[in-house]
Each structure stands twice: as structure tokens, then as C-alpha cells.
Amino acid sequence: MVGRPNAGKSSIINALIGEERSIVTDIAGTTRDSIYMRYNKFGMGFYLIDTAGIRKKGKVNEDLEYFSVIRSIRVIENADVCILMLDATRGIESQDLNIFSLIQKNRKGLVVFVNKWDLVEEKDNVVIKTFEHAIRQRLAPFTDFPIIFGSALTKQRILKVMDLAKEVYSNKKRKVSTSKLNEVLLPVIERTPPPAIKGKYIKVKYITQLPNTQVPSFVFFCNLPQWVKEPYKRFIENRMRENWDFSGTPINIFFREK
């Protein structure tokens, strides 16, 4: 569980395990250390980690808080799935984007939980869609992750968060056979090939998934890999996400010479 101070990380941990394991107050920065708890309920089994809220560097004014933030960053580096807690009453702020960047940089699975939804007066589908669109827009270009609205205080949808975390973890481990990759993607590439450069055309020969990687990683073997640019890689990634469920997990795409 990661987020800014007072986003509700300790509250959701306590609600999930049914005990007051983490101290909850209105004072930002109450949680100073990362607290590991084994979760064995409803057929699930994993470690929940409560972390100290991560504030902007300029606002960290004491050594203890500095080391708390460092420990929170270490937790992100070692986690399988990060649940990014947002405060529904404050929206998405610059520090949320910084925490998201840490999750992305470390190639971790992501679930976004918009907490304190019980405090929002208007909660119709239009408001939810607008809020969701704003989150995805701010976190672009990575937009394929689950967003859930709920409340740690009322326990609204907190078990759904755990279900989604499990799904994201499964998506991180997803394997796609070489035959299926080539069957689906080669026709896509043939219809929309990489742009030619200086009259030379890039020809993709075949595609395969790399084994034993932290996140799903795919190699596209071609004749001129150095000329394949980022926009085309994003195009390929979007087509892959349309065909296979990689929700919540980054994927790596490499072009290599064959």
C-alpha cells in the first residue's frame, strides 16, 4: 500500500486484517516504518505491507521521516503489486504522479484505489467516469490498470482491491506461446508496418516471449531494429493489450536484429 500521507493506507490494512495493527490518526506521518503482515483469508495468501506516506523531498524536514520515505521506496522496489492510494477528496496531485513514476520505474504491478469515496457527495456514473478519465489522463501513456472506488472506513470494496491485486499478479506472470504471438501480431504488423526510413523498410520476421522475466517481455526479430521508434512500440503494445489481458502490469517490447 503506497501513497501520500493520510491517504488511508493504514486504515485499509486494519480493515482487511480485522485488527488495529497500524496506528491511525488524522496526523500526517503517523506511520514511520514499513509494516509487513501475512494475509491468509478468503483463499488468499500474501504479505500486506503498510508504508509511510511519501511526501515531496522539500517537505521532509526531519531525519526520521526521511528514512521512513526511503524505506517506503525500498518496499516499492521489492513488491510484486503496488496499490496506489488516492484521496477522493483531493483528487490526483503531483506527488501521486511521483509515486506512480517510482512504481513504473521499478516495473511493478499497479492497482489504483480511490479511498474516502464515502465522503464524496455526488457518486453517479458520470462522476466516476470523469474521475477515472482524469486519473488515466494524468498517468498516461500507461493507462491499462484497474481503478476502484471505495472506503477503508466503511470497508466498501476493500476485498475487491485484493481480488484485483491477485489478477494483476497473474497478468505479470502471463505467458503467450510463440505460435499465438506470430499468428496474431504478424498480420497486424503487415497491415501497419513501421514507417520506412530513407527508402528502407523494416521487416519483422517473428516474435517470441522471453522466459524468466520480472514482467512480460517480448522480442520482435527484424532487419533494422535501430530504426523502430517509441510511437511504433506503443502501437504494438496497445495491440497486444487488446488481444491479451495485461491489465495492471507493464510489458517490455524489444526489437532485435535477425
**Residue-wise pLDDT tens for the chain (258 aa)?**
998 888 888 889 888 887 655 444 444 444 445 778 888 887 888 899 888 777 655 554 544 445 677 888 888 999 999 999 999 999 898 889 999 999 999 999 999 999 999 999 888 889 999 999 999 999 999 999 999 999 999 999 999 999 999 999 999 999 999 999 999 999 999 999 999 988 889 999 999 999 999 999 999 999 999 999 999 999 999 999 999 999 999 999 999 998
Q: How far apart are CA 155 and CA 157, in angstroms?
A: 6
Domains annotated on the chain, with CATH: 2-172 (3.40.50.300), 178-257 (3.30.300.20)
CA geometry: angle 158, 159, 165, nearest 5 deg: 95
Query: What dihedral angle (degrees, nearest 10) is formed by the CA atoms of 178, 180, 182, 185?
Result: -130
Q: How far apart are CA 244 and CA 109, in angstroms?
A: 16
Burial class for 84, CB neighbours closer than 10 Å (0-12, 13-18, 19+): buried
Contact 108, 82 (CB under 8 A): yes
